[in-house]
Amino acid sequence: MPSNQIFLGIVTHGYNWTLPYLHGISVGTVITNEDAIQLAVYNDVPIQFNEIAQSPYYYFLDSNRIQHIVWFKDARSFDSRARLADEYDLQGLSIWTIMRFDSQLWLIINNLYYIERLLGID
């Protein structure tokens, strides 16, 4: 398939995982990016950034002393993903969770691209 027929899907949420991670057993809870930031503030933990994944993350202990890791997106994450469309000559971006507004995402998208709404895509 030609690359210019492909849209890169971008999600606007993160995941809150309990640790230790057990393959096939552990389940991540979906969390909005804003809620992820608020949870870090509430737990007074520093947000770190993984350069390879191009995503912020942090660890915290809940009230039962269970450790969690939270991965989410921020402006840096959105920027690195959005630039992949140009790098690989893709048709464009597709926001998977358009109803979950994320101001950092739209800041990046509005600065990089002309936004066009496509109707009738099956």
Write the pLDDT tens digit of every residue in 5-59: 999 888 888 999 999 999 988 889 999 999 999 999 999 999 999 999 999 999 9
89, part of any domain: yes
Helix (H) or strand (E) holding 57: strand 55-61
120, part of any domain: no
CA distance 103 to 50: 21
Predicted confidence (pLDDT) per residue in 8-17, tens digit: 888 888 999 9
β-strand 55-61 against 67-71: which pairing, if any? antiparallel
CA distance 87 to 34: 28
Question: CATH number, domain at 91?
Answer: 3.10.50.10
57, part of any domain: yes
**Residue 87 exposed, middle or buried by CB count within 10 Å (0-12, 13-18, 19+):** exposed
105, part of any domain: yes
Helix (H) or strand (E) holding 78: helix 75-87
Q: What are 110's two structure tokens?
A: 């509005």
Q: pTM of the entire structure?
A: 0.80
17, part of any domain: yes
119, part of any domain: no
Domains contained in the chain, number:
1
Predicted confidence (pLDDT) per residue in 59-76, tens digit: 999 999 999 999 999 988
SS3 of residue 61 by DSSP: strand
Domain that holds residue 30: 3-112
